[in-house]
Chains A and B, each alone.
Chain A
Amino acid sequence: MTKSKMNPSLKFLLTLIISLELSFKVSLVSNIIVIVLALGYLLYRRIKPKALGGMLLATGLAAITVFSSGYIFSDHRDLWYALDISSRVLVYTFTTACLTISTTAEEMARSLEQNLHLPSKFAYGTLAALNIIPRMQAAVKQIRVAGMMRGVYLSFWSPVLYFKAILVALNSADNLAQGMESHGYREGAPRSVIVEVPLTNKDWLLFIFAILLLNLGAFLLP
């Protein structure tokens, strides 16, 4: 499917197209081929067993729910169709996992800016938000400990915990906007390119080839 060095934006588009096309076209065999290929790719990229297990469990549950509403609780029972729509859940997750396992957030942001010419504000805003997540996780942990030290036990559904977490997030977001500006970022201003994200003919060939295969599969296979 996607190859290790494929351009991140094309990879992203490919994932999007696969997911979209397979949500409109009923082709259980294509779904299974995509899932198997994606799983093979994830194993080739040495996905952590724990991550794979968690993913299988979560999507498995979702797939079962979809299947039961599409078959068991449906008035017009159609096993093939029910299997198709439930396997789509796996298609979405597995192809997205292929994208995230082989692309860092930085590569993706750069590629969106350079290859798809999205506004840099969008690319770096998203990136910065992603970089806040580990900070937020640490903050929530610390807030809980700080509470216990004052005899306040904050459970995971405690409003105080969320109030504090939102305060931290708001403060971080404000500092971040100022931080970007203080490091020379201006909205809409031209930027140079220091780390290039190449978009080669090979990328395009791979992309077109994959789309062709997908369409052949989706329309010819049952």
Chain B
Amino acid sequence: MQAELTINHLTFSYGDREVIRDLSLTLPAGTFSLLIGPTGCGKSTLLKIMAGLYPKYGGQLTSGQIDLGGRSQAMMFQEAGEQFTMATPREEIIFAMENLGKDKEEFAHRLQKASEFAEINSLLDQKIVTMSGGEKQRVALAVLVAMDVDLFLLDEPFASVDPAARRFLIGRLAKLKEQGKTIIITDHLFDNYQGKVDGVYRFKGEQVDLLTKDEQALLLDTEPIDLHFPLPENEPAAFVMKNFAIKQGRPLIEQKELSIPKGKVTLITGPNGSGKSSLFKAMTKLLDYQGSLTWESKEVAKLKERAYFQHVAQIFQNASDQFMAITVKEELALSKKHASPYFTPEVLGQALADLDLADHMDQVVYSLSGGQKKKLQILLMLLSGQEVLLIDEPLSGLDQKSIEQVVSLLKKCQEKSGQTILLISHQFYGINTWCDYHLRLASRELAFVQD
């Protein structure tokens, strides 16, 4: 029997802001724990303290300590793509195995085990920089499995993973627990955990509480969200593809013909690495395509960037990429210059209040929490008022309340100004009733579906 994992009167702060105050917690050995709480509450911070990265790389530990009971540990970061030293998964696993002093035979054995675990056999020699968000997360998980540590610290490991892979990986993690591993995971979605996790810990204020068995059962009892959509009929088209093809190392999309409706909200889904984000890149001229892709009957490849982006905009996965000024107020002022007529001062004021941003006007945008950044980013892009908005995973990393705020704003704005919205999302909470149509990308082809 391994020793317990204990946290003793831990207080941790960034500058003047205390994130964790006098936290004491005991996690039994060999358990699978889920750590939940609103965005920016300190979940990542706690994991990084356990991983020995904080306070070395940030923040101050003012009192208390953590005792891992002599366990070896490894952590998977929220931004999985930023965690790799080497260019390919195979190289990265070699690097990790050399760090741990393993020999060639042990490496071969663990490489096989890890790539089977996360199903990354076909990705082993692909450059990580060319992978999709979900693929990077699976690779990051594989590295941890290869390291064969006792304690797995996983920070939102499934944020960009498709639902099928998510179900599969949670099942695999439960198997690891049976082999005696201790697993701590943070997540905003509670699907697929029922019967798999032993305890749910909730961040509240600067404290963490263990939910009772009843609370846990209730929380994890999620209904799968049913999707029902009509098929588009005789809709005017925003985008039209003809013999359109894109590739990123391998062929991703080969589309004979497709027309995407104008003034509607279309949900795009598909497995990890199927090419959803690459499709957006082609639409925003960041990736070359073959064949024809037209917007309003004009070939996208031939349109001038500056003129085109006054009509077509994207809300990127990483919110910070979209900021151009320093404070929230300055960002808003910048976007107001070309603001859509829908946003009168009253509407904007209300939107800021609804998003809980009204009190942060003078704050530097980069110092906002992840969820606040995302909310501000979406508001700024709605203000910009382009006719077409491409939105890539707007809800990943947002808690339920933020999701409701964001979707309600998007919905109101779209109804009033009739924008064409294309939305990539792996999670359907809040958006299943908003989207008009559903495009599914499978076997390199996009098709409208009813479910």
Contact = CB atoms under 8 A, between A and B. Distances in A.
B103 A183 contact: no
A14 B154 CA distance: 46
B82 interface: yes
A215 B92 CA distance: 42
B428 interface: no
B82 A172 contact: yes
Contacts of A171: 82
Interface in A170-193: 171-172, 174-186, 189-193
Interface in A87-136: 105-106, 124, 127-128, 131, 134-135
B85 A150 contact: no
Interface stretch (A2-10, A21-29, A140-148): A140-148
A76 B412 CA distance: 79
A106 B91 contact: yes
B324 A182 contact: no
B57 A182 contact: no
Contacts of A143: 321
Contact of B77 (A153, A179, A193): A179
Interface in B69-119: 74-77, 79, 81-87, 91-92, 94-104, 107
Interface stretch (B1-9, B250-258, B306-314, B398-406): B306-314
B74 A182 contact: yes
A131 B324 contact: no
Contacts of B103: 192, 194
B314 A149 contact: yes
B123 to A, nearest CB: 16
B380 A183 contact: no
Nearest to A104: B87
B51 A182 contact: yes
A151 B337 contact: yes
Given A190-B101, A192-B101, A183 B85 contact: yes
A127 to B, nearest CB: 7
Contacts, number: 138
B389 to A, nearest CB: 10
A95 B131 CA distance: 34
Residue of A147, A151, A178 with most chain B CB atoms under a 10 A cut-off: A178
Contact of A150 (B52, B100, B380): B380
A171 B337 CA distance: 30
Given A106-B91, A190-B101, A150 B53 contact: no
Interface in B146-162: 147
Given A160-B324, A191-B98, A194-B97, A179 B84 contact: yes
Contacts of B316: 142, 146
Contacts of A141: 286
Q: Please classify how large the interface on chain A is, using the bins under 10, 10 to 19, 20 to 34, 35 or more.
A: 35 or more
Given A135-B129, A192-B98, A194-B98, A146 B321 contact: yes
B83 A139 contact: no
B156 to A, nearest CB: 15
A211 B53 CA distance: 48
B335 interface: yes
Given A178-B57, A191-B101, A150 B335 contact: yes
B321 A148 contact: no
B334 to A, nearest CB: 6
A160 B15 CA distance: 27
Nearest to A180: B85
B307 to A, nearest CB: 9
B45 interface: no
Contacts of B321: 139, 142-143, 146, 164
Given A182-B74, A183-B85, A190-B101, A150 B92 contact: no
B104 to A, nearest CB: 5
A43 interface: no
B300 interface: no
A220 interface: no
B46 interface: no
Given A151-B338, A192-B103, A183 B83 contact: yes
Contacts of B320: 167
A148 B309 contact: yes
Contacts of A180: 85
Contact of B85 (A131, A134, A146, A186): A131
B381 interface: yes
14 contacts: A143-B321, A145-B284, A150-B313, A150-B335, A167-B320, A178-B53, A179-B77, A183-B83, A184-B100, A185-B85, A189-B99, A192-B101, A192-B102, A194-B94
Rank and list the top 9 A-B pairs by shortest CB-CB distance, nearest first.
A184-B99, A179-B83, A175-B82, A149-B313, A148-B309, A183-B96, A192-B101, A128-B85, A191-B98
Given A174-B57, A181-B53, A182-B75, 17 more contacts: A127-B85, A135-B129, A146-B314, A146-B316, A148-B305, A148-B306, A149-B322, A151-B334, A164-B323, A171-B82, A178-B48, A183-B85, A183-B92, A183-B99, A184-B99, A185-B85, A186-B99
